[in-house]
Chain A
């Protein structure tokens, strides 16, 4: 019997009741939940058990193999390669394995210079034990034999600690484990792809080297060595980050750089409790003197020649693996206003540029603020004709000056950021569209006055002349501060801002050097880091604030050919 009631009960609900599809939801469990999960995860078969007490290489190969496999999560990690094989030595055969990371090594080297000599039995490889006996060697050492005779490699190291071995393997080398030996060997077989040295893209100069740093730290140190070309150049290595073990090189000239400066840099870098370090930008923030300051206190540059000349002055350079930027410390205010080209050009030319840069630094910070202050409070400062011209253009603008200025400045910042973030083919177009069309349209729509467009454009131009990216940001922030101060109390507000900024700058130090150094101290002009550039034959002294071990950098008379008798 067809039971209507039951039919309706069972199906009507489905027919007329709307049931929402359940949305897919995913949320990360918070940390304490995660711990419980991880206990569960430990039971998953592909996680191998790790013996935490196992720190040194054992004599039993299988133990080592198990440890390495567990350490590298070999079951889920795809690019870790472990190759097991046997070494044939005379009549004996030792089992062994090598571990390397695929893609980071040059497999030809591994094949030709590690596996081939170990695995193939040939004349050159055979060990003549009688000869050993004749030379009265007390005992045969397999370790030495392998290092000395078997592997034709320039850099082969004996390691006992697993941590060291793992560091080497992570860096692109391979590790060789042999049964019965309590040590492992690591060999230099790096062969990963990296960017080749190219021209500097962000610090462009006309007269000067066209070499820039790359991501690989070894390449960078090699370029530095090539330029400095002196055995006193010390490149100390250090690792930062408990997790990432990022290689950091501290470079300085042993006979020039102040010992305390080097020690301070080492002290700061070695006392960082961080998990990982990706770029030198992060390191810069971690080791600068005043953490809250908006002024950059360490020079970051991609130019090799600039880095080298700073090194030769007696500064310390820090290279971070993975970043094509070198950090130069200490960095004082003047360094951020100077370009590496300044030293290459004739002093007259570069001083002209210096003056323009100092002027534009002032303008890029203060111009909009001054405009707001003058047009709101100090009308009499504007010459009559100009005043009427400004008044006429402001007639039809509905906004008060402060709003107008903020609109335009914000628009400009938008254009700038927009142009930077879009894919490069459209980048320039954004700039043109933004600057030309927006400006023109804003003026004809009576949203802003043409004078303000000029002000904003000049400010923008000025800020582009600042060679350093960080200082540029500083000025962009300060510009808005000054606009507000100028609006609040005219020149009184600006004066407060200037005074506070000056006090701030005076109080800043960078690795013990006062930030405003060449401006305040009696520093001689005859250095490479003075306020104005001295001619090439007058750069006799090292910058005084560095307190270098060597006070002079050239003879009193550098051009001996001209004054041969006077020395």
Chain B
């Protein structure tokens, strides 16, 4: 069964699937909207904070080789804590996938499918995710490993295509919309790193659990780098007030790319890549939701549930009347929900569990056999 476990590269791309899609979808737009010309400073700032957290979490986790956060919460607080935490955490991939399906479908509708009903476009994504989840975890992370590098290269290509239009002065004034927006209220932008959640669940899927720390750090460096690059490319080319009106953040840049006088509108090709990457991301999210669901309810077969979850996501994504509602929920509630659960709650549980383990070791007690074997 060696093939069903992830190596370092696979794991890194698995985590990066999140950030790449956030970049494609709406994150750079939101962050530029939030802190104006100083968005780049904000990105560096939150990346450093996340990096520190990542190192702490990785260190704590390395004591629990082979177990994910739910197992650890079970060790700390028994079944109750495990189910409570699972319920809290399952909301994250579910909401993310609903947001993703709705948002991207709306964008596609705006760009290419003006007269098609929304359900028709959404259906494609959901079918893709169901197929991937039926195929299983191995297929998902391998698909990630193939598609993500291509998408990431495409982002770099986009940046380099605009090299001649870069104006460094656009990064100024240095504090943009103000110090507060950049550093204090801008802290909530940390939720963009919600791919961090995957780090808590990665352990059982690794070939070599000792590489966990390496994976965490590489993923953090790459995602921060890409975040910075994408925000920079937006800021360096356009006035910050122009950025906010396009459906997809990077679409604005892609539309203006031209290679010579012959290839002038290659945006459709990039859209094709992004659709692929979105499908991958949705499969990853759905896998996460199914995995947590399986852990909470101790169900055996994930594959049967895939269609149910797919349809659930499709139905839920169609409920809001327009995306503005979804964005508002995201901005006012889930942004902070992610922040609290991923970056505060989970590390605290980890910390408490590691203290408990330390105490048990000091008292020479045998370690509680609460951890279920996976």
Is A–B contact present in the complex under a CB 8 A cutoff?
yes
A: which residues have CB within 8 A of B?
374, 377-378, 380-381, 383-384, 489-496, 498-500, 502-504, 506-507, 509, 514, 516, 519-520, 522
Contact of A491 among B145, B262, B275 (CB under 8 A): B275
CB closest residue in chain A, given B136: A507
> In the assembly, what is the distance between CA of A377 and CA of B121, in Å?
14
Query: Is the CB of B108 closer than 8 A to any CB of chain A?
Result: yes
Can you sample 21 A-B contacts with CB below 8 Å?
A: A374-B268, A378-B112, A380-B268, A381-B268, A384-B264, A491-B275, A492-B124, A495-B272, A495-B279, A498-B276, A499-B143, A499-B279, A500-B128, A503-B131, A503-B135, A506-B135, A507-B138, A509-B3, A514-B142, A516-B146, A520-B146
Specify the main secondary structure of chain A where it touches its partner.
helix
- 0 or 1 for each of B326-361: is its CB under 8 Å from A? (1 = yes): 000000000000000000000000000000000000
- 0 or 1 for each of B108-137: is its CB under 8 Å from A? (1 = yes): 100011001000110010011001100110
- Cβ contacts under 8 Å, A496 to chain B: 124, 127-128, 279
Contact of B263 among A374, A383, A506 (CB under 8 A): A383
> In the assembly, what is the distance between CA of A551 and CA of B140, in Å?
30
CB B104 to nearest CB in A, in angstroms, measures: 10
Query: Is the CB of B311 closer than 8 A to any CB of chain A?
Result: no
> In the assembly, what is the distance between CA of A502 and CA of B139, in Å?
8
> In the assembly, what is the distance between CA of A74 and CA of B138, in Å?
59
Q: How many A-B residue pairs have CB under 8 A?
A: 90
Asked if A383 meets B264 with Cβ closer than 8 Å, knowing A491-B272, A496-B124, A507-B139, the reply is: yes
Question: Which 9 residue pairs of A and B lie closest in terms of their CB atoms, listed nearest first?
Answer: A506-B142, A495-B275, A507-B139, A378-B268, A506-B139, A491-B272, A507-B135, A380-B265, A381-B268
> In the assembly, what is the distance between CA of A499 and CA of B276, in Å?
6
- 0 or 1 for each of B211-252: is its CB under 8 Å from A? (1 = yes): 000000000000000000000000000000000000000000
Contact of B268 among A491, A498, A516, A519 (CB under 8 A): A491
Contact yes or no, B9 A522, CB < 8 A: yes
Contact of B272 among A494, A506, A509, A514 (CB under 8 A): A494
- Cβ contacts under 8 Å, A490 to chain B: 112
Contact of A503 among B112, B140, B267, B268 (CB under 8 A): B140
CB A139 to nearest CB in B, in angstroms, measures: 61
Contact yes or no, A502 B146, CB < 8 A: yes
CB closest residue in chain A, given B129: A499
- 0 or 1 for each of B266-280: is its CB under 8 Å from A? (1 = yes): 111101100110011
Contact yes or no, A492 B265, CB < 8 A: no
Contact yes or no, B142 A504, CB < 8 A: no
- Cβ contacts under 8 Å, B138 to chain A: 506-507
- Cβ contacts under 8 Å, B262 to chain A: 383
CB B46 to nearest CB in A, in angstroms, measures: 31
- Cβ contacts under 8 Å, B269 to chain A: 381
Query: Is the CB of B178 closer than 8 A to any CB of chain A?
Result: no
Contact yes or no, B139 A503, CB < 8 A: yes
Contact yes or no, A499 B128, CB < 8 A: yes
> In the assembly, what is the distance between CA of A514 and CA of B142, in Å?
10
> In the assembly, what is the distance between CA of A490 and CA of B109, in Å?
12
Contact yes or no, A506 B3, CB < 8 A: no
CB B226 to nearest CB in A, in angstroms, measures: 21
- Cβ contacts under 8 Å, B140 to chain A: 503
CB closest residue in chain B, given A370: B272
- Cβ contacts under 8 Å, B3 to chain A: 509, 514
Contact of A492 among B121, B135, B145, B280 (CB under 8 A): B121
> In the assembly, what is the distance between CA of A506 and CA of B267, in Å?
28
> In the assembly, what is the distance between CA of A289 and CA of B265, in Å?
44
CB closest residue in chain A, given B131: A500
Query: Is the CB of B186 closer than 8 A to any CB of chain A?
Result: no
> In the assembly, what is the distance between CA of A153 and CA of B264, in Å?
81
B residues 162-183 touching A (CB-CB < 8 Å): none
Query: Is the CB of B147 closer than 8 A to any CB of chain A?
Result: yes
CB B66 to nearest CB in A, in angstroms, measures: 22
B residues 255-303 touching A (CB-CB < 8 Å): 262-269, 271-272, 275-276, 279-280, 283
Contact yes or no, A520 B145, CB < 8 A: yes
CB closest residue in chain B, given A512: B3
CB closest residue in chain A, given B265: A380
Query: Is the CB of B204 closer than 8 A to any CB of chain A?
Result: no
Q: A380-B267, A499-B131 are in contact. List 4 more A-B contacts (CB 8 A).
A: A378-B112, A381-B265, A494-B272, A503-B283
> In the assembly, what is the distance between CA of A491 and CA of B269, in Å?
8
> In the assembly, what is the distance between CA of A494 and CA of B271, in Å?
11
CB closest residue in chain B, given A386: B262
- 0 or 1 for each of B355-373: is its CB under 8 Å from A? (1 = yes): 0000000000000000000
Contact yes or no, B271 A503, CB < 8 A: no
CB A458 to nearest CB in B, in angstroms, measures: 19
CB closest residue in chain B, given A516: B142
CB A382 to nearest CB in B, in angstroms, measures: 9
> In the assembly, what is the distance between CA of A496 and CA of B283, in Å?
12
- Cβ contacts under 8 Å, B112 to chain A: 377-378, 490-492
Query: Is the CB of B7 closer than 8 A to any CB of chain A?
Result: yes
- Cβ contacts under 8 Å, A491 to chain B: 112, 268, 271-272, 275
> In the assembly, what is the distance between CA of A194 and CA of B276, in Å?
54
Contact yes or no, A503 B132, CB < 8 A: yes
> In the assembly, what is the distance between CA of A499 and CA of B140, in Å?
10
> In the assembly, what is the distance between CA of A295 and CA of B276, in Å?
22
